[in-house]
């Protein structure tokens, strides 16, 4: 995964949808807040127009992998499910 291209906000509606779907998909470990909020669910970052936000603190993150935002992960995820 070392050289994956990255994307930075602002993100459009399609990118935000792809990112948040990715977070819930189980395809890979979702991006999470480094602070301990009691459960992984409470730490799972949410994508917005201006970047990732933590639902339980002020933590933000300003990048994502391209494949997370452009929806291309969905095809890989679907192919994995068929195997
Ligand atoms: Zn947090």
What are 2-38's pLDDT values in tens digits?
577 999 999 999 999 999 999 999 999 999 999 999 9
At which residue do the structure tokens 């070392």 appear?
A: 2
The pTM score is: 0.90
Distance, CA 12 to ligand 1 centroid (Å)? 23
Segment 32-52, tens digit of pLDDT = 999 999 999 999 999 999 999
Q: Are 50 and 56 within 8 A, CB to CB?
A: no
Q: Please state, in angstroms and rounded to a whole number, the distance separating the CA atoms of residues 60 and 68.
A: 17
Distance, CA 16 to ligand 1 centroid (Å)? 19
Distance, CA 32 to ligand 1 centroid (Å)? 8
Q: Please state, in angstroms and rounded to a whole number, the distance separating the CA atoms of residues 78 and 83.
A: 9
Helix boundaries (H) for 29-83: 40-43, 66-69, 72-82
Distance, CA 22 to ligand 1 centroid (Å)? 19
Which residues, at least 6 apart from 83, have a Cβ–Cβ distance to it below 8 Å?
none
């Amino acid at each position: 995964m070392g050289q994956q291209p990255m994307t930075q906000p602002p993100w459009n509606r399609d990118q935000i949808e792809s990112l948040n779907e990715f977070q819930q998909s189980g395809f890979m470990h979702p991006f999470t807040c480094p602070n301990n909020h009691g459960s992984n669910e409470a730490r799972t970052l949410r994508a917005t127009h201006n970047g990732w936000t933590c639902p339980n603190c002020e933590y933000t993150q300003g990048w994502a992998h391209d494949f997370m935002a452009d929806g291309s992960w969905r095809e890989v995820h679907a192919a994995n499910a068929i195997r």
